[in-house]
Structure 1
Amino acid sequence: MTKPELSLRVDFGARRLGPGKVKLLEAISKEGSISAAARQLDMSYKRAWDLVNDLNQTFGTPVVATAAGGRAGGGASLTPMGEDIVACYRAIERDALKAAKRHLSALARHVAG
């Protein structure tokens, strides 16, 4: 039996928060840079920067703090807002999965092959 997965997207009018943006924030937190996070997720730096910019606009405050590169090196980290967004999204995801578990199992029984 194929195990179903639940994927959530939170819409804020025309803007969205979903698993891709949250994975990007988590990768930035882990890697310490937007470019390294983009490489880890197999996306271009421009795409990663555009997603971060979209999140900044959605929430009205920076979600990632950046430091310019150079000899001392650059880097990026999540702001408290960015950390809160990830925590809230993952909590919603956990609660939704818990609530939907029985129904996902029922659906899985109907999946062919």
Structure 2
Amino acid sequence: MRAIDFNGSLRSAAKHLKISYQHAWNMMNEMNHIAPEPLVTKQRGGTNGGGAQLSPYGHRVLKEYRFIESHVLLLVEKLNVEVGL
């Protein structure tokens, strides 16, 4: 989702992540089917090209994920210091 948000297209996001377009498409489809609302919206290619972007719901989910991720990383860092790693 971060790569789609940053790159503005599924193809560019797949290239950025070094995965196939088909794999990226399958992951996006899976996420959209599992979530209660679509996370990613897409436009078909054509003269002006297509694109993919996060839906408003997708932006909220990504924001929450980043919040949780930052707290988990801080906790892991703290635990590593406590055990001397």
Is the pair's TM-score, using the shorter chain for normalization, greater than 0.5?
A: yes
Which residue of 1 is the match for residue 33 of structure 2? 57
Secondary structure at the counterpart of residue 48 of structure 2: coil
Q: What's the Cα RMSD here?
A: 1.5
Give the partner amino acid of 1:89.
Answer: Y
5+ residue gaps, structure 2, are none
5+ residue gaps, structure 1, are 1-24
Which residue of 2 is the match for residue 67 of structure 1? 43
Question: Is 1:81 aligned to 2:62, yes or no?
Answer: no
Which residue of 1 is the match for residue 81 of structure 2? 105
Q: Matched residues in 1 for 2:25 and 2:64: separation?
A: 22
Q: Matched residues in 1 for 2:62 and 2:69: separation?
A: 10
Give the partner amino acid of 1:65.
Answer: T
Residues 32 and 99 of structure 1, relative CA distance in 2, 3 Å threshold: same
CA deviation map 1:27-83 (0-9, x unaligned) = 111111001100010000111111111111221221111111111211111001111
TM-score scaled by length of structure 2: 0.88
Runs of 4+ in structure 1 deviating by more than 4 angstroms, as ranges, are none
Q: Which structure is higher in helix share?
A: 2
How many residue pairs end up in the alignment? Answer: 85
Q: Matched residues in 1 for 2:27 and 2:51: separation?
A: 17
